[in-house]
Chain A
Amino acid sequence: MSKYMIRHDPQRCISCKACEVHCQVKNRTAAGVKPGVLITVGPERLSDKVQMTSAFRPCFHCEKPWCVAVCPTGAMVKRDEDGWVHIVRALCVGCRACVGACPWKVPQWDESSGKVVKCDGCLDRVAQGLHPACVAGCTTRALSFSRPNENVRKVRMLYAKSLLVAKDAG
């Protein structure tokens, strides 16, 4: 895991895919290359309600990333300071070993450049104190950016609050 976390709140998510497009625009990817994807299912009957549900899949920035282990040129690296897994573009030779190795199929093959593109957590933006593009532009603030422990605290607090509100309404 990295020091940071991108959290997706399906309650707020409207499956609009702005996250995908903000990412593509910021990272200037080809139209078919999506470092982050939003998967939407539905309308289906889910827990007794007809709804659409979604999950956001950027890179997990694994603790022991297989993509890094398999990369023959040292292009794929995990940064010590924050754990972001990213590609040193100049070193990528386009062998696609990482594409095969990643259990989540996060690295994307970019035909136009002959190199692999993957979610690097917008490390350049984060270095400037900004949020990754997908989070910054999310239409409904369904995506949030945090350090894991901060996030856990927030979820705990929201849950406790909702219990208290429900009690009050009851």
Chain B
Amino acid sequence: MPVRTVYSVCGMCPVRCPIEVDVENGECRFIQGNRQVPSIRGALCTRGAAGIPFVRDDERPQFPMLRKGERGEGRWQRVSWDEAFSYAADKIAAVRSRHGGRSILWSDIGGPFSDLRQALVRGLGSPNYFGEDSVHGVNRQHAALSLFGFSDDRLDLDLKNAREVVLQARNLFESVHIPQANDLLDGLENGGRLTVIDVRATVSSGKADRFFLIRPGTDYALNMAVIHTLLKYKLYDAAYAEKWIADLDELGRMAANFSPEVAAAETGITAAEIEALARDLSKAAPKVVWHPGWRTSRYHDSFFVCRSALIINILLGAVGAKGGLPLASRPEDVGQKGLNRFSDLFPAVTEQRADGVGWKYPAFEGGPGLLHEAFGALQSGDPYPVKACVTYQLDPLAELPDPQRLASALASLDALVCVTSAWSETAWLADVVLPLSPYLERESIIAQLDGIKPAFLLRRRCAPPRFDTRSDWEIVGGLARKLGLESLAFAAAEEIWKFQLDGTGVRLQDFDAKGIVDLTGQPQYDRLTEGFRFPTDSGKIEMVSFHWRRQGLSSLGSYASKNSPAAGTFRLTLGGCGLHSDGHTVNNPLLHKQMPENVLWMNQAAAAGLGIADGETVAVSAQDRSGRIRVRLTEFIHPEAVFMVPGFGRTLPVESRAHGRGLAANRLMAGGLDLWDPNGGGVALQEHFLTVSKL
């Protein structure tokens, strides 16, 4: 059999890199990054490489299942797809007729392939669609919204051309984003400089010209001291400020108290180092990227951390600049029509959202929403009963804090429907499991990518499904048909793509050459020109957000000093790694072998004080939660912090490899659903403290 190359899109993590797959005899043989995409050029990370073993693995849901025993008992009945759709649709319809469409909550992985699913939620009359960013990205999204009037997805990062890059709690070279990592490495090879700010040494800090080992929880103090320095010595871009910034005076008043000396006492970084950083950034302006972050749900003040990071970029004139954070172009910005949206087939839902966004929290934006607040509503029935929940590739029990409490909230549901390609902690409790084909065995709707080079991206099916699993459009269509939403049910993927492309001037065959269609030849760097208006009240970038103020929130808060944890107690810090993507990959045959369990990083001296040796298994506890985990001692983690990679400690017997290996960080977070940043909306995953003791 000849080998044929199929261009498609990776699905192992939320980055979704373009890939090319060698297929022989209906089987995927080799997979690499798309060689024709400039910042990818064949590269594909460890998780992406393990996509084929995921397909070959039998330990995933292989057919539609109805729950037989109690939730979590693991007794399943195999059914046909038609029976599964009928069962799920009947349950959803019953909830809708009794409590209204708003009583349906859809918890989704989000991203560029989600339009069809969002349309289904709209069609059902529910305002309650949630994306994964509600767990990790909402502080960053709101920080951008409060400054620019648009979300952070309208900013691109030009790491290749930047002269100074700052990664703050963004471990780009381990929690890999392939295009960004390569662009940054290219930039560094060309003389760019890197500063890393983190609570521990990482691969990223090892490549840095400057590494600040910061006291956990004090990032905002550091950022304000940088702002203080930029303003005090007039190191900012005054012409840019004049043109684009509103309320610079108020920022100045706020930053006046945050001298580098004040920050030094909090952060452990010397005043001289902070000032030197500010001066170096200023010299490189506007070719500066202070990375806005990835996992930004960390502290009570993470919204301020994100916001102050963006403010530094703004003061240096980097927002809108080549080598900085140029504005992303949408198709219409380059004279092209964007994709037709399935969501536009239905009127917007005007019901109040269960999470309070838009009414209780008027400044916050729909988009990913506040999933923790929605689950709170599920338990309390306030503002109204939420009785049906559909999860799509998101595993709330593995991602949100305090899954113990969340599981008891889920128990009150009349219907829990899980669409998933791997087993998940939440799917194990479901009434119906609708198995999604792995990404190599399914196609998706066309994705629209905004950026300096806007493009359309196509995920094609590389091989037929090994098991009785289906594509997302087939599952959405199957449910839609049973629920009387025929317009979302398509007979073939080509019909979906045709609907999306109609009128855009792009034809399906245009994807044949490389799987991606660029909408412009040259990168668009010049969006921020005369006459541009930011979608804020003033048309400028607002240092003080009117909307935040009106909601009684602070957009320019003062820094609250952080207490050090008591002896034997440590702040729990989290971060991704290159080998796993939260819980989705821990049972993957090859990735499991690479990293079968997580360990607790701990400061060597702090451990010595407790008589703990490297490699030892220790007891950890927080309030009424406890567990055991092996320690990895190093002198290069802040003594107040311990660190874990999340996603381990799986509880499902069907995952023979991952079951019981390592410790689930989120299970240690008692009360974590109520612990969130009031100004940004993100859960505060790093406001939990662990007592570590020798066994």
Q: Does A165 contact B (CB under 8 A)?
A: yes
**What are 12 A-to-B residue pairs whose CB atoms are below 8 Å?**
A14-B203, A15-B203, A18-B44, A20-B46, A25-B52, A42-B206, A43-B636, A51-B205, A137-B31, A138-B43, A140-B43, A165-B190
Q: Does B29 contact A (CB under 8 A)?
A: yes
Partner of A16, one of B32, B176, B202: B176
Provide the bound-state CA to CA distance between A20 and B594, in Å. 9
Of chain B, the residue at the smallest CB distance from A53 is B206
A16 cross-chain contacts in B, Cβ below 8 A: 45-46, 173-174, 176, 578-579
Provide the bound-state CA to CA distance between A50 and B634, in Å. 11
Partner of B205, one of A15, A32, A50, A53: A50
Provide the bound-state CA to CA distance between A27 and B191, in Å. 38
Q: Does B359 contact A (CB under 8 A)?
A: no
Q: Does B42 contact A (CB under 8 A)?
A: yes
A15 cross-chain contacts in B, Cβ below 8 A: 203, 578
A31 cross-chain contacts in B, Cβ below 8 A: 53, 589-590, 592-593
B173 cross-chain contacts in A, Cβ below 8 A: 14, 16, 140
For window 569-615 of B, CB contacts with A under 8 Å fall at: 578-579, 589-594
B42 cross-chain contacts in A, Cβ below 8 A: 136-138, 141
Of chain B, the residue at the smallest CB distance from A14 is B173
For window 12-26 of A, CB contacts with B under 8 Å fall at: 12, 14-18, 20-22, 24-26
Provide the bound-state CA to CA distance between A141 and B190, in Å. 15
Provide the bound-state CA to CA distance between A158 and B151, in Å. 40
Q: Are B634 and A43 in contact (CB under 8 A)?
A: yes
B202 cross-chain contacts in A, Cβ below 8 A: 43, 52
A141 cross-chain contacts in B, Cβ below 8 A: 41-43, 182
- Would A139 and B203 be within 8 Å (CB), given that A25-B49, A31-B589 are in contact? no
Q: Does B185 contact A (CB under 8 A)?
A: yes
Q: Does B207 contact A (CB under 8 A)?
A: yes
B636 cross-chain contacts in A, Cβ below 8 A: 43, 50
Q: Does B396 contact A (CB under 8 A)?
A: no
Q: Does A127 contact B (CB under 8 A)?
A: no
Provide the bound-state CA to CA distance between A52 and B185, in Å. 16
Q: Does A133 contact B (CB under 8 A)?
A: yes
A22 cross-chain contacts in B, Cβ below 8 A: 30, 32, 44, 49
What distance in Å separates the Cβ of A158 from its nearest Cβ neighbour in chain B?
9
Q: Are B201 and A43 in contact (CB under 8 A)?
A: yes
Which of A21, A31, A43, A137 has its CB near the most chain B CB atoms (within 10 A)? Answer: A21
Provide the bound-state CA to CA distance between A15 and B3, in Å. 31
Q: Are A18 and B49 in contact (CB under 8 A)?
A: yes
Partner of B30, one of A18, A25, A32: A25
What distance in Å separates the Cβ of A56 from its nearest Cβ neighbour in chain B?
14
B407 cross-chain contacts in A, Cβ below 8 A: none
A17 cross-chain contacts in B, Cβ below 8 A: 46, 578-579, 594
Provide the bound-state CA to CA distance between A20 and B595, in Å. 13
Q: Does B254 contact A (CB under 8 A)?
A: no
Partner of A140, one of B32, B49, B53, B185: B185
Q: Are B30 and A169 in contact (CB under 8 A)?
A: no
Q: Does B319 contact A (CB under 8 A)?
A: no
Of chain A, the residue at the smallest CB distance from B43 is A139
- Would A52 and B206 be within 8 Å (CB), given that A24-B590, A139-B44, A169-B191 are in contact? yes
Provide the bound-state CA to CA distance between A12 and B191, in Å. 14
Which of A16, A49, A51 has its CB near the most chain B CB atoms (within 10 A)? Answer: A16
The list of the 8 closest CB pairs from A to B, nearest first, reads: A51-B206, A43-B201, A16-B578, A21-B49, A14-B173, A31-B593, A18-B46, A137-B32
